[in-house]
């Protein structure tokens, strides 16, 4: 399941992020790449253990925690602290798959990467190329959202970032361990929850069919969730 969420950050918040990021000290992104990814990764990243990555990442986490569409789609249990990257001058990231298990920085905790997310922090007309290409059941889908928009997709997907041939592509990226690890189960819950939300304004809160649908949702979540 691939989902796009517009305006995770407002345009004003994006401007504030960029005011910090455009003045930040970027480092070679290969430093954080795995053995195979290091050969196909050409970008820049912020030091995740220092400012402004920490404060900007915390702000993004607060926004995600209040976003109902994100919560419905991801059912987050753990979230890896957001990182920030920049592609320019032909920078790209060849086809790769994200690690299945990651250690959360600064802790002894590990997490399973069920979902990957990219939040775009540059408008599409600020750079050429740079599409996030995600391979799925029906082929590859290219994603290039407006600044503040997020794409959420399975971490098991092969994906890549096309070369940026002009301008700079700035983004944040993160991983989520879901309460429901199975993608098919999570998709069913998302579809059911979205249907309930659409029906709710048209029906009385105590209406029997709505109550039954809500009960089915929570009983399935109760069955599948790992806490």
The answer to whether 169 is annotated as binding is yes
Q: Which residues of 118-137 are buried (b: 16+ CB within 10 A; e: fewer)?
A: bbbbbebebbebbbbbbeee
Exposed, middle or buried: residue 203 (CB in 10 Å: 0-12, 13-18, 19+)?
A: middle
CB 184 within 8 A of CB 103: no
φ and ψ at 163, to 5 degrees?
-55, 140
φ and ψ at 216, to 5 degrees?
-60, -45
The answer to whether 83 is annotated as binding is no
The answer to whether 28 is annotated as binding is no
The answer to whether 159 is annotated as binding is yes
Annotated binding site for Fe cation: 96, 98, 159
Annotated binding site for 2-oxoglutarate: 169
Annotated binding site: 96, 98, 159, 169
């Amino acid at each position: 399941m691939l989902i796009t969420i517009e305006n995770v950050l407002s345009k004003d918040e994006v401007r504030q992020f960029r005011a910090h990021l455009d003045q930040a000290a970027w480092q070679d992104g290969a430093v954080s790449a795995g053995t195979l990814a290091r050969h196909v990764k050409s970008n820049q990243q912020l030091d995740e253990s220092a400012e402004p990555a920490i404060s900007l990442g915390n702000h993004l986490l607060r926004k995600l925690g209040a976003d109902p569409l994100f919560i419905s789609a991801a059912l987050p249990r753990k979230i890896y602290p957001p990182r920030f990257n920049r592609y320019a001058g032909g920078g790209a990231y060849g086809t790769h798959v994200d690690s299945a298990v990651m250690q959360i920085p600064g802790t002894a905790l590990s997490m399973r990467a069920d979902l990957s997310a990219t939040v775009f922090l540059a408008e599409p007309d600020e750079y050429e190329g740079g599409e996030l290409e995600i391979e799925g059941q029906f082929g590859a889908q290219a994603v290039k959202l407006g600044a503040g928009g997020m794409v959420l997709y399975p971490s098991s997907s092969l994906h890549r970032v096309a070369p940026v041939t002009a301008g700079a592509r700035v983004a944040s990226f993160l991983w989520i361990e879901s309460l429901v690890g199975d993608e098919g189960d999570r998709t069913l819950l998302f579809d059911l929850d979205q249907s309930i939300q659409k029906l709710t304004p048209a029906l009385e809160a105590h209406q029997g069919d709505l109550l039954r649908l809500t009960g089915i949702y929570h009983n399935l979540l109760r069955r599948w969730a790992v806490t």
